[in-house]
Structure 1
């Protein structure tokens, strides 16, 4: 397969991986869909305003479930995922905890290729970066690709192993595992970390605590609001929307942070419940409404990998970040930031400057929480422009 040549400096060989859900699991899924009932129509579920101010609509969910049952083809999704090199690799921390990390990669054959790790959040998955990787595959060959692109499923997500069931797993633990994976692939001399949402926290931890991470690019708020600083008109409008979001759309985060066991049980018992929970976020957090196939892909990956109950543990950490200053996440390395106005927790550039060595930034007029999925060309251009400015890094 193209783009699958492991760098010569790798200290371990990751195991090639193919996504292949058993026919028996697909059949059981169809049974569960057939038996699942939608709640009766209510005043709330019959509202169809674009903001989904009262939640997912009965009409949208009914149509989505019908499509899932009768038209959606998981095998096509598998084929798309498997068209990229996929791997799993194991790392063990000092406490003896094993992490088996899945990742998609585009490996370059250029000796000076820049290693970049792309980190997703919730309810994102590794697949949100595939449109950007498609652009890279069209634009470059393995011998001309200027980057090594590594897209892991973070611990607890998709085809990576879950967090420990005997001790608490934190974002610090996950960042350690990501750094170990990058070093094992031969990138101990330096790599760039990019992240959004939970991935932003991970990228900041990598940039603040690990020597091998030489630069960080983020697109999400990752710290408390600083004192009043100058804001552009587009930044102020985004913050106004954030205030509304905090009042009307934040209950999900409190539930996942404070009662993760309960919501994990609820969403793991019924694929329709799972689809409504994460589908609402894809619809209401995007600037450009994603296609139903994109949402069904995400819901299917979550369902078939039993992800939902084991992936929401980071909310306990991120809730702490929202309410407490965490100066140890200050990034002394070169920091880049892309401002997308419809991000659910946008950060004005002047705020970001107080959280690290900001050397590159760009304000966009479009784009939301899933920017890499919504606008892969813009996302990729930002990443390439930032990497081109900071690499090779200055010691």
Structure 2
């Protein structure tokens, strides 16, 4: 089912000593802003006391070499894949083959402001469940870095989820040799995975999502009262929280100079989203944040952005995605691939009505999780892995 030899180059992460020293020097020169009274709950954005702790730790205590060594315990590759416009893209990916026969090929796609690191705590749990005392199914786990993110290449012209889906399909079929495969994702990854299911339904066994990105046409079937109330709540939430999206989807370059040049600026911009979207005890300015996202964990994510210089190429996905209009379902269009959806309720968003999920997807499983947030695989790896296994067991028999 797979090629005997992967037609991709083995890849090892290595950041130079000079780059590490440069990061620490920049952190030592950080100028912190004033903070308005009343920002204990991050109402104005990232809390100052949290940032002081985070930046001090990043400068004095964070050991990139230790994290780099851990990242390199995972088998990594880079493959050159050409898109439909003739542009070449270097795709970085983790590839962990299961030790069990009959494993399900599973491509897992992260989103923003995340990296491939988000899934690393569940790779072995999914590939080798017996090691953790869990029953199957088991998976051959593939975790690519999105185009423009981490150790994948930066596109000359940003591309959206539908175009990325085509590259993912080539990765799974042409590079890794799978005829059929499954997919799992959240955030921007859920856009890519939904497009995979629409564009290559014949190859997708099933999909598991933690976000539902497709917007169905409602002309034939008006929204229910429950759906209308949910839409109203969602619109109210976005009015409060969409500032980052508005900037990144219109003028990302205006933001890029600050984030690309200042590690403090980068961390302040990204940390706010982890606070907003994680399952965090928000009764204290930083205790809940650090408990849910330990310093080494979150700073590994931030350091990947910093050392690869990919914050702007990552942010521009917000401009490329809407331009592609890939989240709009045409009249009568629907994902036909069997779909499982798991909603993590501490995502600060109102709970999605099951009927809404059924409008756009061939929904076979709908589950409200007891805990965890937007970064579920990193926040609750055991719970997440158990749910993914249970979902595909139910979908595929």
For residues 310 and 226 of structure 2, what CA distance do their matches in structure 1 show?
39
Query: Contact conserved, 1:198 with 1:318, CA < 8 A, in 2?
Result: no
Matched ranges for 1:168-247 at <5 A: 168-210=158-200, 211-224=202-215, 227-229=222-224, 242-247=234-239
| SS state at 2:362 partner | strand
Taking the aligned partners of 1:80 and 1:324, their CA distance within structure 2 comes to: 36
Equivalent residue runs for 1:371-390 within 5 Å: 371-390=376-395
Deviations 1:313-360 (A, max 9, x none): 221254469998333873111111111112355533221111021112
CA contact (8 A) 1:108 1:145 kept: no
- Look up the match of 2:340: 336
For residues 340-390 of structure 1, the C-alpha deviation after alignment (integer angstroms, 9 at most, x for no partner) is 112355533221111021112211232221111111122112211121123
Show the 5 A alignment for 1:1-395.
Answer: 8-9=2-3, 12-39=6-33, 41-43=34-36, 47-49=39-41, 52-136=42-126, 139-140=129-130, 146-163=138-155, 165=156, 167-210=157-200, 211-224=202-215, 227-229=222-224, 242-288=234-280, 289=289, 290-319=293-322, 325-327=328-330, 330-343=334-347, 347-391=352-396
Seen in structure 2, the aligned counterparts of structure 1 residues 313 and 130 have a Cα distance that, compared at 3 Å, is: same
Hey, what does 1:3 align to over in structure 2?
none
Query: Once superposed, what is the RMSD of the aligned Cα atoms?
Result: 2.8
CA contact (8 A) 1:341 1:365 kept: yes
Contact 2:98 2:128 in 1 (8 A): no
**What secondary structure does 2:269 align onto?**
helix
Pairwise CA distance, 1:15: 1.3
Say if 1:242 and 1:344, in contact at 8 Å, map to a contact too: no
Q: Over residues 246-291 of structure 1, what are the superposed CA-to-partner deviations in whole Å (9 max), with x where a residue is unaligned? A: 1211110010001111112221010000000001111221013422
CA distance in 2, matches of 1:331, 1:284: 30
- Assess if the C-alpha contact under 8 Å between 1:116 and 1:192 holds in 2: yes
Q: Is the 8 A contact 1:337 1:349 kept in 2?
A: no
> Structure 1 residues 319 and 91 mapped into 2: Cα distance closer, same or farther (>3 Å)?
closer
Using the alignment, how far apart are the partners of 1:85 and 1:370 within structure 2? 22
Q: What 5-or-longer segments of structure 2 have no aligned partner?
A: 281-288
| Aligned equivalents of 2:388, 2:175: Cα separation in 1 | 21
Task: Give the total of aligned pairs.
Answer: 376
